[in-house]
Structure 1
Amino acid sequence: MSSLWQRPALDLLQAAASGAPTPGGSTAALTGAFGAALLEMALHITLNKHREGEEELLRVLQTATGLRERLQALADEDVRAFGAYVQATRLPQDTPAQERERAEALDRAERAAVRAPLELARTLVEALNLARQILPHVHTEVTSDVGAGAAILAGALRAGLLTAEINLPHLPEEERPALRAERDTLQAQGTRLVTAILRRTRARLGGD
């Protein structure tokens, strides 16, 4: 399967807008990757503007790049998980053996459909933590870009968790409470982080 990132941007947008069942998790991951890219850009520009603390900034830039690349990979992983689920629903169930095979394939696919957006959410929280860390140190000209990146990351986080939520009922009932608890923790962390980042962004820009 080719990567989403090999497709033109307009093609991706039109696919999301069409009647085809484009996975919400992959759309969230695509969006989140652009949010992380804004953090990278802010670090690159800061390094170009001055060399003070260059070694530490380069280390943080490497972390930002790793997070963006992970988000790119998670977009493709979500598409694969969705494709596996669709394929599982189409398996024949004419015999007991086929029914067992289909049930096992569906179980694997449904677990992946929850696991992928939760991993996405964990990565987005990491990226929000990074945005909080770098905000005081980036050049003032890119302050708003860090804030914008954080806002995009937070939106992607909420979208990813909604994708996980809709798939939770397919899992055994006894597994759901722990997953819902993790979902709530990740959302709370993301909300706290983006609220603090945007408040500090406005303060750094001289706003209220």
Structure 2
Amino acid sequence: MACTFFRKLLAYLSFEDELDVVLNDESDGQSSSHRTNRQRRKFIRRNHIQGHERLLRDYFAENPVYPSNLFRMRFRMSRLLFLRILNEVESYEPYFVQRRDSAGRLGLSSMQKKTVALRMLAYGVTGDFMDEYVRIGESTAMESLKKFSETIVSIFSDEYLQSPNANDIARLLAVGEQRGFSRMLGSIDCMHWKWKNYPAA
């Protein structure tokens, strides 16, 4: 079930990866034709190091600005689990290892790329939403989400991304019943869904 969700997410991201094409109507005096030109993107110097240092200071320093309960609320997991996933992802996928560019400048850290991917998954926000805080462009954020999802499926699918068996279904239905949601198998995050027809539909 979860594996199917991630596969659909990857298919959607691949489809959305296409760059926008702009059609320009140009007249050269002899004939009128449509030509396709790609929009030029403006380069923005984002100061990736500042974004990484802000993340460290806010959540991962010895005395972070935000305590562990706020970390759990914002990242939807504990700090230890975040760091475990970060280490696994970084050791499995070279994309998440921080590198220098051809000019010798440090690029984005694995922490920045993973934070953007997790926030997009947790909150359902767009690729450019985290730019001001993490200092990451929209196309890189989308690429990070895609790579992160692929890597998570590769690393953890055997252990965690499985279809529920009969015992799992019975346990999840019992938990839902206790919380007032009878016949509900599970929900990723109820904030994004309107249950307008529940329980009639």
What TM-score does the superposition give when structure 1 sets the normalisation length? 0.23
Q: Which has the higher strand share?
A: 2
Answer with 1 or 2: which has the greater Rg: 2
Q: Which has the higher contact order (CA 8 A, sep 6+)?
A: 1
